[in-house]
């Protein structure tokens, strides 16, 4: 026995259009059928259901109680089927991977490496959504999230990419600035300290590093605050102050000699970067490919 005893889809589609327009003629125009074809489909549906769906008035149609009941359900079901089939067609036409992460991770680590993935997967459209706010992956249609936070509090399903080590960084010119040496952590008192968006009560900041160096009472020459970590690092590259570098995020700027580490002292952070994926992306091979590539890059 069939599980679903349903009328054919074309009959429901004809009924929904006729019920919406209250006109067989306008329904026929919408469906590219003749008025008589739509009339026959409605009659066939009424016969299958053994109930009248329309009152045929003089030059007018009116839904019966049964018709009103069926219209609400048919419209909702057809709309849902339309949405799902359009989504499947879109996925077939274009492979997309939507990734959400922090501005610092995107600007300093992910984007500089992204060409390595797209060179191999030219048919995949990678879309980066940058935000400090957490999003609901399945609700918002996001495939992957790369999140920064305490390793001990990471989501149960998260995969760790890497932790971080902190040490001050500055431009080569600032390190050599006459009369303001940067040879010992205590020398930070002569310089402006740069603060980024991650620097708040819950996340590690300058106070943690200074406390670890046993100079928590140090008074810097000034302070500048930035809404994004990559903005702060840009200011450091331009010699506007000393930033707290987070490695491996800052590795590229050090390798390019845009920044230097004036001190040898480093501090392991309790924070880390973790990869989360939505349940809805499990059937998308391109998401699996991107996640695998991301983990390989992080392992380097």
The DSSP-derived string for 214-225 is T-TT---SEEEE
Mean pLDDT over residues 54-63, rounded? Answer: 89
Give the long-range contacts of residues 201-206, CB within 8 A, separation 24 or more: 203/149, 203/271, 204/166, 204/269, 204/270, 204/271, 205/244, 206/244
**Percentage of residues in the chain with pLDDT exceeding 90?**
63
List CB contacts of 73: < 8 A, sequence separation 6 or more.
none
pLDDT in tens, 151-202: 777 788 889 999 999 999 999 999 988 888 899 999 999 999 999 765 343 4
Mean pLDDT over residues 195-213, rounded? Answer: 71
Within 10 angstroms of residue 121's Cβ, the number of other Cβ atoms is 16
Most distant CA pair in the chain, distance: 98
pLDDT in tens, 108-117: 999 999 999 9
Paired tokens of 125 = 């459209």
Mean pLDDT over residues 129-153, rounded? Answer: 84
**Residue among 299, 271, 277, 297 nearest 109 (CA):** 297
């Amino acid at each position: 026995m069939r599980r679903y005893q349903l009328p054919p889809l074309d009959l429901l589609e004809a009924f929904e259009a006729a019920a919406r327009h209250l006109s067989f003629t306008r329904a026929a125009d919408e469906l590219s059928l003749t008025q008589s074809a739509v009339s026959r489909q409605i009659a066939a549906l009424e016969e299958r259901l053994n109930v009248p769906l329309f009152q045929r008035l003089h030059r007018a149609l009116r839904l019966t109680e049964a018709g009103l009941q069926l219209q609400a359900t048919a419209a909702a079901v057809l709309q849902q089927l339309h949405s799902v089939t359009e989504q499947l067609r879109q996925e077939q036409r274009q492979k997309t991977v939507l990734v959400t992460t922090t501005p610092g991770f995107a600007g300093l680590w992910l984007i500089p490496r992204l060409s390595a993935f797209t060179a191999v997967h030219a048919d995949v459209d990678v879309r980066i959504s940058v935000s400090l706010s957490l999003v609901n992956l399945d609700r918002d249609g996001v495939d992957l999230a790369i999140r920064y936070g305490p390793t001990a509090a990471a989501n149960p399903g998260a995969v760790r990419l890497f932790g971080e080590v902190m040490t001050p960084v500055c431009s080569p010119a600032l390190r050599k600035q006459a009369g303001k040496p940067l040879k010992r952590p205590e020398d930070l008192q002569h310089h402006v300290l740069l603060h980024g968006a991650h620097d708040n009560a819950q996340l590690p900041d300058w106070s943690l590093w200074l406390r670890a160096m046993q100079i928590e009472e140090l008074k810097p020459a000034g302070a500048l605050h930035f809404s994004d970590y990559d903005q702060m690092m840009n200011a450091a590259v331009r010699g506007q102050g000393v930033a707290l570098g987070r490695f491996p995020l800052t590795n590229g700027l050090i390798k390019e000699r845009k920044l230097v580490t004036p001190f040898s002292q480093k501090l392991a952070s309790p924070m880390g970067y973790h990869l989360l994926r939505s349940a809805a992306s499990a059937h998308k091979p391109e998401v699996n490919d991107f996640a695998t590539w991301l983990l390989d890059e992080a392992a380097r």
